[in-house]
Structure 1
């Protein structure tokens, strides 16, 4: 009986914690996952972060679409670039949509740091946050 009570209390506390998680928390977690996958250098894992109909404007002039477009974009980048997410802001546009804008530093293999503005629109698909829209641009001087 006591064990069932403790399990029930634990579930209530988890529910309260989940309810308190706001759009910024969701965006921080989704951007951290994006950063980790980007730095791993795996185009297939990168593409899996995007929706099947995603739109991606990265560091090139071309608009890439869908998971195949995300894979193509990532495959065309020079190897060894790393990213570090910076400050960000996020808002919920709905229960399963989070809009996130902020900063990211991309470091080239030679050590050159390229500061960028990065906007990502996340949607929840099958319980996981996926990128539906991505726009990156160099930080103006």
Structure 2
């Protein structure tokens, strides 16, 4: 994957699936975007694996939506991609939260999934 456009297409494909599941408040579908052994760090203590991802998103309020912008991508290896994004989480009853999100995607059995997810909240 030599071009920036190709890397962004892969990252956007994964993040579009993630966003669709977040917007639908479907924690199991969100978790399916991650590898079985994913390291997940949202705004609460970190977890490992899909179960922790599902529990995190189950705890989020109904009506929460995610919007993202790809800021950077890097190819780390043939089947490993780094992404850096700006994400806005909006809510029905309070102001939006803006975060930076770093992800590492890994291709497993031909499917790109999130292996590492790290949020940092902006002030």
Q: Report the TM-score when normalising by structure 1.
A: 0.79
Unaligned segments of structure 2, at least 5 residues: none
Summarize deviations over 1:102-124 as a string: whole Å, max 9, x none.
Answer: 20100011252111101111111
Q: Secondary structure at the match of 2:93?
A: coil
CA shift for structure 1 position 24: 2.3
Structure 1 match to 2:84: 101
Does the 8 Å contact 1:64/1:70 carry over to 2?
yes
- Please list, as runs of the form range in 1=range in 2, the aligned pairs for 1:79-118 lying within 5 A after superposition: 79-110=62-93, 112-118=95-101
Alignment partners' CA distance in 2, 1:40 and 1:125:
25
Q: CA RMSD in A?
A: 1.7
- Structure 1 segments, 4+ long, off by >6 Å, are none
Alignment partners' CA distance in 2, 1:119 and 1:19:
21
Does the 8 Å contact 2:88/2:99 carry over to 1?
yes
Unaligned segments of structure 1, at least 5 residues: 1-17
Structure 2 match to 1:40: 24
**Which protein, 1 or 2, shows the higher relative CO under an 8 Å CA cutoff with sep ≥ 6?**
2
Structure richer in helix, relative to its length: 1
Q: How many residues align?
A: 122
Q: Which has the larger radius of gyration?
A: 1
